[in-house]
Structure formats: structure tokens, C-alpha cells
Amino acid sequence: DSSEIAEIQNYVKANNLDANPEYFGKAKGMNVIYVSMESLQSFVIGKEIDGKEVTPFLNSLVEKEGAYYFDNFFHQTGQGKTSDAEFIMENSLYPLPQGAVSMTHAGNTYQSAPAILKSRGYTSAAFHGNYKTFWNRSVMYKSYGYDKFYDATYYNMDNQEDLVAYGLKDKPFFKESIPMLEDLPQPFYTKFLTLSNHFPFDKHENDTDFPQGDTGDGVVDRYFQTAHYMDQALEDFFNDLKESGLYDNTVIVMYGDHYGISENHNKAMSKVMGKEITEFENAQLQRVPLFIHVPGMEGGVNHTYSGQVDVRPTLMNLLGVKTNDYIHFGQDLFAKDRKEIVPFRNGDVMSEEYSSIQGVCYDNETGEPIAESEANKCKEVSKDAQKQLELSDKVVYEDLLRFHDPKGYTPIDPNDYQYNNPNP
């Protein structure tokens, strides 16, 4: 009830940081494009196979003017995979310890990014080359307040060679999306969910001459090929955005949604990484790339320890939208004095100096468990991580945003939205 939301609000208020004035409002009024980079982990950034870069385009962004790259950014997803990542990005809340929140709690009241921006004149749209019912998106997106959902029914799904496990390959997906994007009223808030780099990372041999890896583990070896294809698709997309004139007035946020290579492939991954994949190293591998391109800004590599919950407050501050009154668990990536605590959904927690993995406290610098006598080094970060997860879960399980009325927010009605098939 409303007393519970008050407790959560107090925690959120106490953890709010002032926006960094060098960034606040620097993208005011601009369009927004999110790209969910399927299963992309940070270890591929800068990686070479046979002397060739796996992701030359993304690598070029690391040092590019206008682009910020976050190299200590982690996914925080649970069993809901892509849909969990979406949930975190839209709401700055944690997904659930069990199941996918978009399956179990799609009917909740949320105060999501599309709804927040609606009252600022934004039109929102989601683009995805799979059918709208997958992950219950057709229901969840109404609760998020998405005006439009361009699902597989809007794309040409007739050519077998254009398809991969869950839908359309990334190149035709982005190509066919451009005219739909151009037709949107501006400013827009949009997201594009890619698919080519999805497990089992197959069906792209004829789409690229990029070599496979040579670990002998087909999943890991093909991953480099599908990641390379996605990288090319992203480059094409950027070029098309430039051509359409949208590029100079659009913030582009690209993030890896979750890991692609599970612990079942540790043996091959130890060859890739040149070291044994211990529990500690596996936690390090949960880094996913985050790029934020803001026209006119300087850009640079940012080392802050961070996770997907931190992106929404970052974006909102860039757009000049204060979200202090909203329930959210992230901290702006550009703010000063960030906590740099990254709670994982499995209870592990990463911080700048220490990480708590499966109950063991490690020193990040050495990768070794720290002496028993110093184990309290992890206690404080673990305690805060637990608190955040507990409060966030309360919001979701008890549908508490029903009782929350942020200043300046106009609630949306999910029934106002419907996503029709264009060719019934």
C-alpha cells in the first residue's frame, strides 16, 4: 500500500545523485534510439580472430567523438533474458529472481520511459523481427506505453535465408526499419531488438566471409561470425541514419542484453581468454558493451562500475528530464560520487574493488579470495545490493507503482494502445 511505497521512496531519495551539469540537458529534445545487441558480451570488443577484428565498427566507436563507451558495464538479467534487459532499461527496476517479469507481471502499473517521455511530446515505437506475442511483449509494451510496435508482421519474412532462430536477420531488419522510422513523428523514443547473434549462433556462413573461431566448440566458434555480422548491420544502420538526416539529432544507446556464452562453454572460453574460467572470471564475463552516442558531445571511455539499471537515469538526464521523483534503482552514469555497486540477479555483486561471487569475497585486482579477516569488505556492498533487490521485488510483486504519483507525470492507460497486424 502507500506506506510501503513511502519506504521505497525514502531509499530511492537517499540514493539519488545530482545530475552532472556538464551532461544534463545536452540532448534535450533529441530523438532516442536504443539497440539491444543480442547476446553481445564485452570480451568481443577489440578481439581478433585470424588477425581480423570481430567488431570493427563497434571498436571504432570506442574512441570516436560523440560516443561514450562503458567498459565496466554489466547485464543484470535473470530468466527473462532479452525481456528482462528491456524491463531494466525502461524502468530502472530489477527483473525477478524467478521467471520473466514480462510474463508474470505485464499487467502491473509501470512508469516507464515511453510514458515519461510521452508528456514531453515524444512518440514511442519498438522494432523487432519476431512476432509480438513472444515474451508477452504485446501486453507488456502497453504497460510501458509504447505507441507503436513494429513486429515481424511489418517485415518481409518470406525468404528463408533472411531468417534465424527467432526471426529476421539483422541486416534486412534494420534496412526495412528505416522507412518506418522515418515516418515517425519527432521527437521519437524507439528501440530495436536484434536477433542474428542469438544462440546457437548459426545460419550466417553465407552472410559473411568472417572466419569462425578455432576452439573446437561450435557455439563459441560461430559466435564470432554472428557477432561480426551484427557489427556490420549496425554500421549499415548508422550510415542509413546519417543518410536520412536523423543521425545528428538522435541519441543512440546500444547495449548487450545478456550473456551469449553460458558456463557450459568454459573450456572453450578459457582458450579464448587465455586463462582458466573460474567462478570469479565467469562473473567478469558478465560485462556487456554499452555505447551512448550523443551528437555534439565529446565522448570517451568511461570505467565506472555499472549495470543496466543505471541507463534510464542517465538518458533522462541527458534529455533534461528530471526523474528524482520516480521510483528507480539506478544512478546516472555521468554523475559524480556514484556508488559503483552492481547487484546481479543471482545475489552476486560486483563493485569497483571487490566482488562477492557465490558467497566468496574476491579482490578484483588479484582475482583471489580475500583473507577471512577482511571478508567484511564485501559485506557492505552485498547488504546494499540485497536491499535494492528486495525493494525492487516489492515494487513488482505488490504492484506498488499504483500508489505512486510522481510530480509532473501523466499516467498512461494501457488500454489506449493496440498493436495491429498491418496486413490482416
The residues assigned a catalytic role are: 82
At closest approach, how far in Å is the CB of 173 from ligand GP9? 12
Q: Which three cell numbers stand for residue 75?
A: 547485464
Answer whether 257's CB lies under 8 Å from 77's CB.
yes
- Residue 288: CB minimum distance to ligand GP9, A: 12
Q: At what angle do helices 218-244 and 266-273 cross, to 10 degrees?
A: 60
* 77 binding Mn ion? (CB under 5 A): no
Grid cell, residue 191, equals: 528501440
In the bound state with Mn ion, the residue whose beta carbon lies nearer, of 82 and 112, is 82
Q: What is the DSSP-derived secondary structure letter of residue 248?
A: G
Residue closer to Mn ion by CB (options 260, 414) is 260
Q: Which is nearer to ligand GP9, 106 or 116 (CB)?
A: 106
Rg (alpha carbons) of the chain, rounded to whole number: 21
Question: CA 204, CA 198: separation in Å to the nearest integer?
Answer: 11
Q: Which is nearer to Mn ion, 41 or 331 (CB)?
A: 41
Identified binder of ligand GP9 from the candidate list 110, 166, 280, 419, rule CB under 6 A: 166
Residue number, 81 or 204, with CB nearest to ligand GP9: 81
* All three cell numbers of 356: 562477492
CA 184 from centroid of its chain's CA atoms: 23
- Asked if 82 interacts with Mn ion (CB under 5 A), we say yes
- Should residue 132 be labelled a site residue for ligand GP9 when binding is judged by CB under 6 A? no
Q: Which does 228 bind (CB under 5 to 8 A by kind): Mn ion, ligand GP9, none?
A: none
Cα 127 to Cα 193: distance, rounded to the nearest angstrom = 6
198, 265, 293, 345: which one contacts ligand GP9 (CB under 6 A)? Answer: 198
DSSP 21-46: TTTTTTTTT-EEEEEEETT--GGGTT
Which partner from the list ligand GP9, Mn ion, none does 24 bind, CB cut-off 5 to 8 Å by kind? none
Q: Does 191 bind ligand GP9 (CB under 6 A)?
A: no
Instruction: State the minimum distance, in angstroms, from the CB of residue 166 to ligand GP9.
Output: 4
Query: Which residue among 59, 72, 82, 197 contacts ligand GP9 (CB under 6 A)?
Result: 82
Q: Is 130 in the site for ligand GP9 (CB under 6 A)?
A: yes
Contact yes or no for 194/38 (Cβ under 8 A): yes
Based on the shown chain and the rule CB under 5 A, indicate whether residue 42 belongs to the binding site for Mn ion.
no
* 239 Cβ neighbours under 8 A, 6+ residues apart: none
Task: Output the CA–CA distances (angstroms, integers) from residue 198 to 49, 90, 181, 289, in the order listed.
Answer: 19, 22, 24, 16
Does residue 41 bind ligand GP9 (CB under 6 A)? Answer: no
Tell me how crowded residue 401 is: count the other CB atoms within 10 A of its CB.
22
- The amino acid that residue 252 corresponds to is I
Residues that bind ligand GP9 (CB under 6 A): 81-82, 130, 134, 166, 193, 198
